[in-house]
Amino acid sequence: MGEGRDVGCINGWDRHRIIQITYVLEGERQSLPVRFISTGFFGVGKNERLASLLYLMKTFKIAVLPGDGIGPEVMTEARRVLGAVESRFSMSFELNEARVGGVAIDHDGEALPAKTLEICGDAEAILFGSVGGPKWETLPPNEQPERAALLPLRKHFGLFANLRPAVCFPNLTHASPVKESIIAGGFNVLCVRELTGGLYFGQPKGISEVDGEPVAIDTMVYKKSEIVRIAHVAFKAAMTRDRRLTSIDKANVLENGVLWRKTVTEVGKEYPEVALNHLYVDNAAMQLIRNPRGFDVVLAENLFGDILSDEMAMITGSLGMLPSASLGLKETALGRFGLFEPSGGTAPDIAGKGIANPIAQILSVGMMLRYSLGEPLAAEAIEVAVRRVIDSGLRTGDIFSEGTERVGTEAMGRAIAAAI
């Protein structure tokens, strides 16, 4: 019926070894690479071998939340790329789409319907588009799409670690607002942001009247355990890169920063191979513009990470190029449950025109494969495909320059899918 041949492994884990299966089906000899999950699979009878093969073709259950604005357009191209991954890597995806954000408010009366939350909880990962827009800005703040959908999703699933790579491709340095002499050759910085603590979630919080005038209160709170948890994520990421970590705080003013710096330093002793340094957040904001290539991994609490990661994204030249991953406490079979989304917003000014850059959404698929689904080879294939298409000269409007070919959302997505 068939035979197996060892052709490689993922991350050196034998139980995830890739084997080439050759079998005869209806008189035709066929060959297929699959993931070998458990030992002894091929000691079974001949009639069971094809069943074993089909078992090995793992189906991943993904919650797909396109959202608002350009979200549905770029998500279409992400799904196209997932189809290409299915074909090449002999895996399949069960994609369950649900409404979120403004479109959910319009149809269901709330930004995060119970059905959407149920679909997300049933999945191994969430592929998220973007939410919000002018249409819903007149709603009470707590009912607007961003606050009423994204923040509750993070809290519900304990998505405590946000990873945002800021990558400037060598042939896209012209798109950056920074002098090309500063970023010649491009750069690659990873921002690791704590996502469920700090000023955004601390209590008390609210607006009240004191002595006859409105007073707003937000509270910045961090437990040591929360800092330890995110610090380990950052150090482990640094171990896979250039082994340099810059921790951001405001220890000269905030008690919060004092605890942050002390705790990160303690955790750093467990990673002697990683060079650790500390910067105040205002200095970090300046240094990122002055010399972005001087950074490898940046670790920051929620508010500082929110601001600095957007700055880093802008330095690369386009938010349309940058994905992000928000990882949680829940573990999947081969990784962590997470939410994967572009770093940019809904871009309502270009929504429906077919000109949005889908690369950030597509690279979010790569991050999902790497961090939640344990498929680094497939993730790398997407990243390589994006580089190839960029090198070929195709550009959406946000990264277009003279001498390159301007294409729309669909054409860019098709080109990347074809390059996988």
CB 338 within 8 A of CB 328: yes
155 is catalytic: no
Exactly one of 250, 271, 296, 371 is catalytic; which is it? 250
Exactly one of 249, 296, 306, 398 is catalytic; which is it? 306
236 is catalytic: no
Exactly one of 58, 200, 249, 296 is catalytic; which is it? 200
| Identity at 286, one-letter amino acid code | M
407: left (phi over 0), alpha (psi -120 to 50) or beta: beta
In whole angstroms, give the CA distance from residue 364 to residue 357: 13
282 is catalytic: yes
306 is catalytic: yes
In whole angstroms, give the CA distance from residue 103 to residue 145: 9
Cβ within 8 Å of residue 392, ≥6 positions away:
415
- Map the chain to HEC letters: CEEEEEEEEECCEEEEEEEEEEEEECCEEEEEEEEECCCCHHHCCHHHHHHHHHHHCCEEEEEEEEECCCHHHHHHHHHHHHHHHHHHHCCEEEEEECCCCHHHHHHHCCCCCHHHHHHHHCCCEEEEEECCCHHHCCCCHHHCHHHHHHHHHHHHCCCCEEEEEEEECHHHHHHCCCCHHHHCCCEEEEEEEECCCHHHCEEEEEEEEECCEEEEEEECCCCHHHHHHHHHHHHHHHHCCCCEEEEEECCCCCHHHHHHHHHHHHHHCCCCCCEEEEEEHHHHHHHHHHCHHHCCEEEECHHHHHHHHHHHHHHHCCHHHCEEEEEEEEECCCCEEEEEEECCCCCCCCCCCCCCCCHHHHHHHHHHHHHCCCCHHHHHHHHHHHHHHHHCCEECHHHCCCCCEECCHHHHHHHHHHHC
Exactly one of 108, 218, 242, 310 is catalytic; which is it? 310
Active-site residue list = 200, 250, 282, 306, 310
